[in-house]
Amino acid sequence: MGFFNLINFFMIFNFFSLSLSANYLDEAKSPDVFDWMVKIRRKIHENPELGYEEFKTSELIRTELGKLGIPYRHDQVAVTAVIAFIGTGNSPLVALRADMDALPMQEMVEWEHKSKVPGKMHACGHDAHVTMLLGAAKILKEHEKELQGTVVLVFQPAEEGGGGAKKILEAGVLENVTAIFGLHVAPNVPIGEVVSRSGPIMAGSGFFEAKITGKGGHAAIPQSSIDPILAASNVIVSLQHLVSREADPLDSQVVTVAKFQGGNAFNVIPDSVTIGGTFRAFSKESFKQLKQRIEEVITGQAAVQRCNAVVNFLNDEKPFYPPTVNNDDLHQHFRNVAENLLGISKVNIMQPMMGAEDFSFYQELIPGYFFMLGMENPSHERLNSLHSPFFKINEDALPYGAALHASLASSYLLKYQQDVPEGEGKYHDEL
């Protein structure tokens, strides 16, 4: 492509992206689409389901996709996952992901559409994520003839500790996808704004549990016992030194002990104590080092106090999450699309967070980009944080998420349509 042809291409691309983004946002805000999304979001919110149990949510998604005439598959894909397709069926393929699972929490918000399931609640906004992806699907289907490739919609189970993204990848349904985008609602970011960054955005995370065993006895004669509570206390203090004295101060890490169980009487030293917690880091090397040192510290400090310790990292039940690292090229693409859609002042850089996100599994194999979507309205009540029993969704944010999803995918296909020879990677052949 000649220099002037290249300039013309990018001028046309930027103009198309600008007009397309504005059009998508107008469509998402139209009463037909907005009211439809609100109805879906509230129905999902009323019927929360935990990881790998999202059967009703999956059925609702498939019903809505069927009404829109969008093909999908769900059999034998991560238990409850739904993978849908819009476009030509040819490469390039770009994916959009939404997580479906709720949390084991009792909702404390009193409103007409609160959770109908005791002890379960959408306290992390996944009901909104599903709704926004369905909104994007509705918009993209209306513009299907304009798509220069295929958009793959990923409705994923079990983000909250279950590693649903890993099972999606193991099913092989994203093998020819060349980029993937995901979002998360942010209650502390103004509505109509987004925040993200290139490179590490969220930490890798793991969990640990240790049983420290001594010798129980009467609290009045401690010399006849081997006290596992004292041993566990020394273990916890020593674990904090891993970050304060062994980690590079410029390499953010976290070790938190959040579980301590042992004994049920005031005057009895128990035979054993169980502690547990989480550890986080932004690089695989730091994460691996933390894991090794956590085990060494627990077993070593327990031995100093004449106790035995067995450490379990629970990787089967709670898979280790890699760091969430945004692709540099996709960062620029995101900024271009989001600035066209929202305005330059509405697209900002965020600080990395020590929270974890299983979107990171996709990013290990596919160039990926994850961002935060604001929903705070200063004129309304202050929104509670994620994972709070008082968490609320500002439904006015739904159109922004739907439009961003649609714009990111369609403009990606337009920009990269010449990167893959025509006719390769038809989804109906490979999926």
The CATH number of the domain where 293 resides is what?
Answer: 3.30.70.360
Say if 36 falls within a structural domain. Answer: yes
- Total-model pTM: 0.90
Determine whether the annotation assigns residue 307 to a binding site. no
> What pLDDT, on a 0 to 100 scale, did the predictor assign at position 381?
83
Q: Do 45 and 189 reside in the same domain of the chain?
A: yes
Say if 336 falls within a structural domain. Answer: yes
Q: Do 25 and 69 reside in the same domain of the chain?
A: yes
Q: Do 167 and 220 reside in the same domain of the chain?
A: no
Q: What is residue 245's DSSP assignment?
A: I
pLDDT band at 358 (very low <50, low <70, confident <90, very high): very high
Q: Do 28 and 160 reside in the same domain of the chain?
A: yes
Please compute the mean of the pLDDT values over residues 238-247 and round it to a whole number: 96
> Residue 421 above 70 pLDDT?
no
Q: Do 232 and 252 reside in the same domain of the chain?
A: yes
Q: Do 194 and 210 reside in the same domain of the chain?
A: no
394, 375 contact by CB (below 8 A): yes
Q: Do 285 and 272 reside in the same domain of the chain?
A: yes
151, 308 contact by CB (below 8 A): no
Distances (CA, A) of 285 to 46, 238, 247, 289, 377: 42, 21, 11, 6, 40
> What pLDDT, on a 0 to 100 scale, did the predictor assign at position 14?
53
Q: Do 141 and 43 reside in the same domain of the chain?
A: yes
Say if 318 falls within a structural domain. Answer: no
Q: Do 198 and 51 reside in the same domain of the chain?
A: yes
Say if 267 falls within a structural domain. Answer: yes
- Judged by average pLDDT, the poorest of 13-27, 190-204, 331-345 is 13-27
Say if 106 falls within a structural domain. Answer: yes
Determine whether the annotation assigns residue 126 to a binding site. yes
Say if 317 falls within a structural domain. Answer: no
Query: Domain range spanning residue 82?
Result: 3-202+323-430
183, 403 contact by CB (below 8 A): no
Q: What average pLDDT is seen over the chain?
A: 93
> What pLDDT, on a 0 to 100 scale, did the predictor assign at position 379?
82
CATH of the domain at 169: 3.40.630.10
Q: Which residues contact 35 (CB under 8 A, 6 or more apart)?
A: none
Please compute the mean of the pLDDT values over residues 245-264 and round it to a whole number: 96
Of the two residues 426 and 338, the one the predictor is more confident about is 338
Domains identified in the chain, total number: 2
Q: What is the pLDDT of residues 371-401, one digit of tens each?
A: 999 999 988 888 999 999 999 999 999 999 9
Q: Do 217 and 78 reside in the same domain of the chain?
A: no
Of 285, 312, 339, the residue at which a domain comes to its end is: 312
Please provide residue 257's backbone torsions phi and psi, each rounded to the nearest 5 degrees: -95, 115
Tell me how many degrees the CA angle 218-223-226 measures, rounded to the nearest 5.
75
Q: What is the pLDDT of residues 112-154, one digit of tens each?
A: 999 999 999 999 999 999 999 999 999 999 999 999 999 999 9
Of 277, 312, 347, the residue at which a domain comes to its end is: 312
Q: CB under 8 Å, gap of 24 or more: what pairs does 286-291 form? A: 286/247, 286/251, 286/253, 287/204, 287/206, 287/320, 287/323, 290/242, 290/247, 290/253, 290/255, 291/206, 291/208
Q: DSSP of 395-428, one letter per residue?
A: GGGHHHHHHHHHHHHHHHHHHHGGGS-TT---HH
Determine whether the annotation assigns residue 129 to a binding site. no
Q: What is the pLDDT of residues 50-108, one digit of tens each?
A: 999 999 999 999 999 999 999 999 988 999 999 999 999 999 999 999 999 999 999 99
> What pLDDT, on a 0 to 100 scale, did the predictor assign at position 21?
59
Q: Do 49 and 136 reside in the same domain of the chain?
A: yes
Of 312, 343, 377, the residue at which a domain comes to its end is: 312
Strand boundaries in 198-315, DSSP class E? 199-202, 204-213, 217-218, 253-261, 268-269, 272-281, 308-312
Q: Which residues contact 376 (CB under 8 A, 6 or more apart)?
A: 186, 187, 188, 189, 190, 191, 382, 383, 394
Of the two residues 420 and 266, the one the predictor is more confident about is 266
Say if 33 falls within a structural domain. Answer: yes
Tell me how far apart the alpha carbons of residues 63 and 40 are, in angstroms, rounded to a whole number: 11
Q: Do 278 and 332 reside in the same domain of the chain?
A: no
